[in-house]
């Protein structure tokens, strides 16, 4: 990042506030009867289809907030869970391209987040469970993957970050065989962590992935980034602080994804004299039931 850009580094929680419930790690798809026995590409397509139907029926189209109670009773959710039950014997070489890999793991991450929230009866936020992101797991190809493993090990290629300053996998970890072939920082906007500040839940499809990643990144950036020209401050999600190195030079990256308009024009002409301010992360559950309906 250019040295002339000032950072207002965030204070406070960089992880969900902990309310004290401690549980052992749980593999949520162990013991789940698979509806079908199929190849991994077929399972990936099945998972995407079920997730798309679930989102259409049980998530707000604008905010992405989820009706978890309605979802838990639905046939769409049963389809997602039954699909995850067939993943235990999957093989990494079956995901033939980076696009197939990214779409599969983004969808699986979002399914695992929702599965953990539903299975544990979370009502206020994932901070109700100590180390939620480490303790919720799926079994894939004989190995278990937590949300941390999927995000940082698989999708971020075992990169370090502000909130994970050491690699999550050792050099000899067998799960490294599942690491995606290319890293794309836009993947941050595909992952739903169950919090109000996280990107909205979507389903991703390999043959449309480039357009979907672009839409996810542009949608998040344009909804989230605030440009205060009078104070020369650019306010944004704490995601950009946690994973700043993933984006490289942040202001140019933002400019590539901001829609045309006065704000973008001002930032383009003042890119080397702004203060970057990262707003607090709202870890409250992204539960549609807890949000007043829009007028």
Instruction: Kindly list the domain boundaries of the chain, sorted by start residue.
Output: 26-207
Which residues are paired to 234 by β-bridges? 227, 276
Q: Rounded distance, CA 50 to CA 213, Å? A: 20
Element (H, E) at 223: helix 209-224
Q: How many residues does the chain have?
A: 295
Tell me, what's the pLDDT at 292?
44
- Is the backbone of residue 121 left (phi > 0), alpha (psi -120 to 50) or beta? left
Q: What are the two backbone dihedrals, phi and then psi, of residue 129, each rounded to the nearest 5 degrees?
A: -110, 120
Tell me, what's the pLDDT at 179?
98
Non-local CB neighbours of 270 within 8 Å, separated by 6+ positions: 229, 232
Residue 241 and residue 279 in contact, taking contact as beta carbons nearer than 8 Å: no
Q: Rounded distance, CA 68 to CA 6, Å? A: 40
How is residue 221 written in tokens? 């950036």
Tell me, what's the pLDDT at 290?
61
Q: Rounded distance, CA 215 to CA 285, Å? A: 24
**205 closest CA partner among 46, 83, 29:** 46
SS3 state of residue 27: strand
Residue 159 and residue 151 in contact, taking contact as beta carbons nearer than 8 Å: no
Tell me, what's the pLDDT at 180?
98
List, for the chain, all residue ranges whose pLDDT scores fall below the cut of 70: 1-20, 35-37, 290-295
CB-hemisphere CA count at 13 Å for 222? 14
Long-range Cβ contact pairs of 243-251 (< 8 A, separation 24 or more): 243/161, 243/162, 243/185, 243/188, 244/1, 244/162, 245/159, 245/161, 246/156, 246/159, 246/161, 246/183, 246/185, 246/188, 247/185, 249/1, 249/2, 250/1, 250/5, 250/276, 251/1, 251/2, 251/5, 251/276
Q: Rounded distance, CA 199 to CA 188, Å? A: 8
The DSSP symbol for 83 reads H
Handedness of CA 103, 240, 148, 200 (dihedral sign): negative
């Amino acid at each position: 990042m250019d040295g002339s850009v000032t950072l207002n580094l965030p204070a406070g929680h960089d992880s969900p506030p902990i309310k004290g419930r401690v549980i052992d790690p749980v593999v949520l798809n162990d013991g789940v009867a698979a509806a079908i026995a199929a190849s991994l590409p077929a399972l990936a397509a099945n998972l995407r289809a079920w997730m798309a139907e679930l989102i259409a029926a049980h998530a707000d189209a604008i905010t992405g907030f989820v009706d978890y109670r309605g979802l838990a009773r639905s046939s769409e959710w049963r389809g997602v869970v039954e699909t995850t039950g067939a993943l235990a014997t999957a093989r990494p070489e079956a995901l033939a391209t980076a696009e197939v890999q990214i779409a599969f793991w983004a969808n699986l991450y979002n399914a695992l987040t929702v599965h953990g929230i539903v299975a544990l009866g979370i009502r206020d936020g994932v901070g109700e469970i100590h180390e939620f992101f480490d303790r919720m797991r799926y079994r894939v190809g004989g190995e278990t993957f937590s949300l941390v493993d999927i995000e940082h090990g698989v999708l971020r290629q075992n990169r370090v970050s502000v909130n994970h300053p050491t690699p999550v996998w050792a050099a000899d970890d067998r799960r490294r065989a599942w690491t995606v072939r290319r890293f794309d920082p836009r993947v941050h906007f595909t992952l739903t962590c169950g919090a109000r500040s996280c990107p909205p839940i979507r389903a991703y499809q390999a043959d449309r992935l480039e357009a979907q990643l672009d839409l996810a990144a542009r949608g998040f950036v344009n909804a989230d980034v605030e440009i205060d020209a009078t104070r020369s401050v650019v306010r944004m999600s704490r995601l950009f602080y946690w994973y700043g190195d993933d984006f490289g030079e942040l202001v140019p990256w933002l400019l590539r994804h901001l829609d045309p308009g006065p704000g973008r024009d001002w930032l383009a002409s003042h890119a080397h004299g702004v203060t970057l301010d990262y707003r607090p992360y709202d870890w409250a559950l992204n539960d549609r039931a807890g949000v007043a309906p829009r007028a």
